[in-house]
Structure 1
């Protein structure tokens, strides 16, 4: 088995706080889930990054995120 390598992925502050306050075993479960999901996404020839981004955008829009709100969020950072 290959040695673990750390990567940094920006997340919002709420997500970071929840991750940092999680029980001892939850971060490891999250790491394994993300590792498998990233591999799946990058190795899938039927599901491109642009399709993933479109899906995320559609879900965000369905939850009320408008282009104007997104612009405001991006400008605030």
Structure 2
């Protein structure tokens, strides 16, 4: 899959977590963010629905609820 690097602003603690995450988690988070951004901007659907669908797809690609909870809890 071809990708393009972009820059987004996040809280310093979020940046530290991301930078210290294993490469597999980074790939999973990149996929999750890509899905959120693509669906949120390209879709006329409510953001809540977009997040729900992206979450389902992320789980199908290996980002488990436990990993996501752990990442969110560390913030």
Q: TM-score when scaled to structure 2?
A: 0.56
Asked if 1:35 corresponds to 2:34, the answer is: yes
Q: Distance in 2 between matches of 1:20 and 1:46?
A: 32
Deviating beyond 3 angstroms after TM superposition, the runs of 4 or more aligned structure 1 residues are none
Q: Which has the higher helix share?
A: 2
List gaps (5 residues or longer) in structure 1: 49-77
Could you say what the CA RMSD is over the residues aligned between the two structures, in angstroms?
1.6
Cα displacement (A) at 1:37 = 0.9
**Structure whose CA Rg is larger:** 1
> Does 39-48 or 19-28 show the bigger shift?
39-48
The equivalent of 1:46 in structure 2 is: 45
Kindly provide the CA deviation profile for residues 29-68 of structure 1, in whole angstroms up to 9, marking residues without a partner as x. Answer: 00000001111101221337xxxxxxxxxxxxxxxxxxxx
User: Of the two structures, which has the highest relative contact order with CA contacts closer than 8 Å and spacing of 6 or more?
Assistant: 2
How many residue pairs match? The answer is 47
1:12 positional shift: 0.8
